[in-house]
Amino acid sequence: MKTAVRQKVAALATVLISAIAAWNPATASTFGETEVEQSRFIAVAAPFGESSHQLLIIEQLSPKQQCWSENGSNPVIVEPLLLNFDFTGICGRSTDSNGYSIRIDDQDMGLEYLLRVVERDGQLLLVGTHRRDRKAPDIVIGRTNGLTDGFSKIVLEPGWQFTRRTYQGKPLGHIYLSTDMVAVGPGTNPGTNPGTNPGTNPGTDTGPGTSSSFRDIGSDVYRSEIEQAVALGFIAGFKEDNTFRPQVALTREQLVSMVLEALSKLPGANLQIPTQVSSRPYPDVDASRWSAAKIQWARQNNIISGYTDGTFRPTQPVTRAELMAVERRAAEFALTLQGKQPTLTSQQPPIEFSDTQGHWAASLISQMSSYCRVASPVNESGTVFSPNAQARRNYAAAATLRMLNCVKPAQPTATTSQ
């Protein structure tokens, strides 16, 4: 009997700890997280009331019975099988903030952001909405890629994953939707252009030409190129803590901004980029968004393109392969600015990467490796390119600098009068 009582007390204590975290900042800050097997979890947009949906997270605890099934695509229809049997010990189910929350850059953000499922642009989005600052942009965490009145799977955006909350190293039942992107505060968002271009996110950038002795790049392999990129002014650091945050993933809209700023540094370049647009350049890019005009201009000049479903996904982290595709198009555009044919001439033998065979970007990655080493191995070592990995700010700055240097017109050689 005593053992049973102790088990019940321990279970109650775990529940209380999770509940306290929902309202006590001091306690919430002590929680950690641990990795979980992603295939055992699913985020579901569950019908709620009339024409509304809420987030449901299901966990497969035991293989005894299947907790859910999936069918179709765009959206993936989910049947919550756990509703048809006693799922105790077999399935886990979380339906509110006591069971799940957001974690960003190793910080529990449950007190700052509320998880919601909203309908936008012909699909359901899982977003984090700031609890106090109504002007703060939502954080897009996942999407259903379509609409249905029933249950549908929420596909997490690149960089997001399920993790489990821990307390003093012990796992709890609370589930995090977690990312390692830099933590955000009121009025900011992992996708709002941190540290790329002065004027797009006031109060964040150090600005072009300022000292680049950032305290977090001392041992970075790209340190020298980061400093050159900052000196040129097409990327910047963060004034509030004098960091560059080299390992933070770059979003697709941030890449557009950075590349266009780089092209504007070319001698004689006079890019007439509008500051605003009257209509959406893509269905998921509002005309009022800070990046809309740049995205539209880049699209019109064949520097960027969207996905086959017609979206651009501005806040989605850009992959290293996508980075190379944009760098190649930017280089071709730069050559046309100089009245040249948009043909990239190899500067050195291409690198034979060990992990790009069969990839959609294999040939262009190879090409860009021969073009001033714009494409290079991960951390400049070995033969792995990792095309589907997120492009970090350090490599994105270095690759853009290399592209810029490769397309610059040759300087005339000085001659000595005889």
Q: What is the dihedral of CA 111, 117, 120, 121, to 10 degrees?
A: 120
Q: Give whole-number Cα distances, 71 to 48, 74, 102, 278, in Å.
A: 21, 10, 27, 39
Nearest alpha-carbon partner for 201 in 229, 227, 231, 236: 236
| pLDDT score of 418 | 39
**Is the per-residue pLDDT at 43 higher than 50?**
yes
Q: Is the pTM of this model over 0.75?
A: no
**Is the per-residue pLDDT at 288 higher than 70?**
yes
**Is the per-residue pLDDT at 262 higher than 60?**
yes
pLDDT band at 410 (very low <50, low <70, confident <90, very high): low
- Residue predicted with more confidence, 368 or 72: 368
**Is the per-residue pLDDT at 300 higher than 90?**
yes
- Least confident range from 97-101, 167-171, 195-199, 232-236: namely 195-199
Is there a cis peptide before residue 350, judged by omega within 30 degrees of 0?
Answer: no
**Is the per-residue pLDDT at 204 higher than 80?**
no
Interior angle at CA 74, CA 68 and CA 79, nearest 5: 15
**Is the alpha carbon torsion for 212, 217, 218, 221 positive or negative?**
negative
Residue position matching structure tokens 């201009």? 297
For residues 261 and 205, give the distance between their C-alpha atoms in angstroms, rounded to a whole number: 14
Q: Residues 342-355: what's their mean pLDDT?
A: 93
Q: DSSP string spanning 251-273?
A: BHHHHHHHHHHHHTTSTT-----
Q: Residues 3-24: what's their mean pLDDT?
A: 46
pLDDT band at 371 (very low <50, low <70, confident <90, very high): very high
Per the CB < 8 A criterion, the answer to whether 317 and 251 are in contact is yes
**Is the alpha carbon torsion for 165, 189, 41, 322 positive or negative?**
negative
Give the pLDDT confidence of 148-183 residue by residue, as tens digits: 989 999 998 877 899 999 988 899 999 999 987 543
| pLDDT score of 412 | 53
Percent of the chain residues past pLDDT 70, beyond the cut: 83
Give the pLDDT confidence of 78-92 residue by residue, as tens digits: 999 999 999 999 999
Q: Give whole-number Cα distances, 88 to 19, 48, 76, in Å.
A: 20, 23, 26
Q: DSSP string spanning 146-200?
A: S--SS-EEEEEPTTEEEEEEEETTEEEEEEEEEE-SPP--TT--TTS-TTSSTTS
For residues 331 and 379, give the distance between their C-alpha atoms in angstroms, rounded to a whole number: 23
| pLDDT score of 181 | 56
| pLDDT score of 79 | 95
Give me the residues paired with residue 129 across strands: 114
- Residue predicted with more confidence, 31 or 204: 31
**Is the per-residue pLDDT at 366 higher than 90?**
yes
Q: Give whole-number Cα distances, 225 to 228, 338, 395, in Å.
A: 5, 25, 9
